[in-house]
Chains A and B, each alone.
Chain A
Amino acid sequence: MKKRVLLILFCFVLASTLLFAACNTKTEPTAAPVIEETKTVAEVPAAEKSADTSVATDKKSDVKVAMVLSGPINDDDWNSVGYNGLKKACEELGVEFAYSESVTDADAERVIRDYAARGYRLIFAHSFSFGEATLKVAKDFPETIFMAGTANELTENMGTYDNPDYQGAYLAGMLAAGISKTGTIGWVDGMASPNMLANLHAYQAGALEMNPEIKVLHTFIGSWYDPPKAKEAAIAQIEQGADVLSSQGVGVIDAAIEKKVWALGAMTDQNFMGPDVVLTSVMWDLYPCIKNVTQEVIDGTWKSGNRSYGIADGAVYFAEYHGLDSNIPADVLEKVNAKFDAIKTGEFEVPHDTSEVK
């Protein structure tokens, strides 16, 4: 028995030393080529400057772009905007692209790291909750360029982009207040993220500009996707007198159909979800941003920073009314359109307020 224990102990020690050795030797040879590889990629822009243009166009297809999304790409919301922008921009530029959808916060770093390790040159982390995960990977892959949605902390190889759809939310607020007969309008949202708070404040400001007496209700349901809860919150607002709802989550439009009130969509044209009640939607188009960033990465001119593409860049606008505009008083529509133009020319700046609300 004693012999056996000794034998096991010996095996135990042997195995653990072997393991440590294996891990140590593994690090060196495999790490070296990876660094070399990223170096050669990084040299592309430098080579471009000296070489003739034909080399530069050849190198264009070398850049691969990836996007990591927190939800399904067919959600007709935040994730659809990301995927549609990626697809349109990359197809236009003739660049290879890939995406991963429905990635959880716990798993985001792994997926982003996997793309970086596989030589993707530009990686979009399309959720404000992916910021920190992206930051960790960016430190390990200094030659890869990362763009994280509304991130707080940036590095030299990690930039951010936001969605100034609060500019559209201001217009939506004006429209909602203009068509409301009860003098009460509603806002049903997922979580009180800085971006959503900016939207809500702009919606309130726009509504107050149209009608200083307006009452704006708001609810954050505490989840980005919980249709029954969103519907419940919407119905609660309707019962408090709201007759126009801004829908920032699935379920609100259902409530609007059931209770026959107006709804304003967000992100994509959501009229198809309720053709009789969705007056219009505040659209957000990520295509101009992705196209410019990708082009800059190809050209080697990319610089870290925040990209904000709003109404002036054609990235935020109203969707079609699908014939429902006959329900909007002419003076309201005129005022909204005039405001849109004023924002576009820079004459009017929508206030950006991310303070927390009760």
Chain B
Amino acid sequence: MFNKADNHNIELEFKKQRRAETLTAAGSSIGAVILALIIGAVIIRLLGVNPFDAYRALIDGAFGTKNSIAETLLRAVPLAITGIGITAAFRASIFNVGAEGQLYLGATSAVCVGLAFPTLHPAILLPLMAIAGMITGALWGGIAVLLKLKFNANEMINTIMMNYIAIYFVSWLVHGPIQQPGSPLGQTAGLSDNAILPIILKQTRLHIGFIITLLMVLLTGFLIYRTVWGYQIRVTGKNMFASQAAGIKVKWVFLSSMLFSGAMAGLAGFFEAAGIQHRMIENISSGYGYTAIVVALLGQLNPFGVLLAAILFGGLQIGASTMETAVGVPASAVTLIQYLIVILFIGRKAFSLIIQQMKKNRKVAA
């Protein structure tokens, strides 16, 4: 068998390989972003605006003032939190496209708890609300995996469908049983001061949820890379049968990764409700659950990468509205850039496949 020195060498070799993989992965993400920005510049030019002016306004809007930095980070919170949840599920090859619905339900139940106990001390009430949101999100996601395990129903399709059920159900709730009395708007009554997340930067809306997000990113990184559970998730995602043969309880891995994913989406919903809207409203999320999928993929399913991707997307979205007012480029141009990033990023494998195929063809011809 191997002696200690050999073992050490193998470990070093693995480390080197892993570092190289991370570097190429990061490179492809950054490459996709840069390429998308260049194509975006051409489009902005075609709209009759100097792309440098447009991008300067975009950066100014995203990072130009204390308030805009705070808003960029705030926008990154739901994207990052939901993104790391999606990461865990995707790693186990569970395709959770239902984060949007999980976020809505999580936000709603957190607000219901907040409205039910308005006088509790914040140190008790806020965690209670967070837990309520997380449990609701987890249960809603869990249903899709149970359907997969029991009836072999595709969880991707089920989670998409369950989004609609959740969002319309919440819409009915805020227009019906939990609507603020006397208001024509689809919203609940406002949360009491005890149920609102404290602000950490004066004159902005940046709340404590941002710090919790950073901690959750670290925690998720630890869970995925440094625990048995994370190992089981990674192995199951790579090869379900091998992992089954190795005695890993694949069903539990599927279910638990989805529960974690749903809980993170529910937590993001709690942050949006208790940190920003201070109540539950219809349309509380502008598609965070979907954007988070993109953020998770762009972040290479690595929690720290996801955080960076979330801040990038947050900045793009916040800067877009400033760019719109400053130089008259429609904010949809930025949406376009966002999706270009996705296409280029997903397409990067297509490029290498095409090149490989061409090489093969040449060999055959020769």
Contact = CB atoms under 8 A, between A and B. Distances in A.
Interface string B155-197: 0000000000000000000000000000011000010000000
A16 B214 contact: yes
Given A19-B214, A117-B203, A105 B71 contact: no
Interface stretch (B25-33, B144-152, B258-266, B319-327): B319-327
Nearest to B182: A356
Contacts of B283: 104-106
A358 interface: no
Contacts of B214: 15-16, 19
A306 interface: no
B203 A8 contact: no
A88 B71 CA distance: 32
Interface in B48-88: 61, 65-68, 71, 74
A192 B286 contact: no
Nearest to A29: B66
A99 B325 contact: yes
B286 A107 contact: yes
B325 A98 contact: yes
Contacts of B318: 110
A102 B294 CA distance: 24
Interface residues of A, number: 35
A109 interface: yes
Contacts of B71: 110, 113-114
Interface string B190-234: 100000000011111100000100110010001000100000000
A117 B184 contact: no
Most central of B202, B281, B322 by chain A CB within 10 Å: B202
B281 A15 contact: no
Given A109-B276, A114-B71, A140-B203, A5 B184 contact: no
Given A8-B222, A23-B201, A105-B281, A34 B66 contact: yes
B277 interface: yes
Contact of B322 (A99, A104, A113, A114): A114
B316 interface: no
A106 B281 contact: yes
Given A15-B218, A31-B66, A106 B203 contact: no
A31 B202 contact: yes
Given A19-B214, A104-B283, A106-B277, A4 B226 contact: yes
B284 interface: yes
Majority SS at the chain B contact face = helix
Given A27-B202, A117-B66, A111 B321 contact: yes
Contacts of A3: none
A211 interface: no
Contacts of A110: 71, 74, 205, 318
Interface string A77-113: 0000000000000000000001110001111011101
Contacts of A348: none
Interface residues of B, number: 34
A308 interface: no
B143 to A, nearest CB: 27
Contacts of A30: 66
Interface in B314-340: 318, 321-322, 324-325
Contact of A27 (B67, B201, B325): B201
Contacts of A8: 222, 226
Nearest to A220: B184
A5 B226 CA distance: 8
A167 B158 CA distance: 52
B30 to A, nearest CB: 23
Given A31-B203, A34-B66, A141-B203, A106 B284 contact: yes
A218 B61 CA distance: 44
Contacts of B218: 12, 15
Nearest to A8: B222
Contacts of A106: 276-277, 281, 283-286
B195 to A, nearest CB: 15
A106 B174 CA distance: 14
A117 B68 contact: yes
B211 A118 contact: no
Interface string A126-141: 0001001000000011
Contacts of B204: 113, 117
A113 B226 contact: no
A114 B321 contact: yes
A10 to B, nearest CB: 12
Nearest to B318: A110
Contacts of A5: 226
A221 to B, nearest CB: 12
A34 B201 CA distance: 13
A228 to B, nearest CB: 18
A68 to B, nearest CB: 10
Given A16-B211, A106-B277, A191 B201 contact: no
A27 B66 CA distance: 9
B184 A191 contact: yes
B203 A114 contact: no
A278 B184 CA distance: 29
Nearest to A110: B71
Interface of B: 61, 65-68, 71, 74, 184-185, 190, 200-205, 211, 214-215, 218, 222, 226, 276-277, 281, 283-286, 318, 321-322, 324-325
13 contacts: A5-B226, A8-B222, A20-B211, A23-B201, A23-B211, A27-B201, A104-B283, A105-B185, A106-B285, A110-B318, A114-B71, A118-B65, A129-B185
Given A109-B205, A109-B276, 10 more contacts: A15-B214, A19-B211, A34-B66, A98-B325, A106-B283, A106-B286, A110-B71, A117-B67, A132-B190, A141-B203
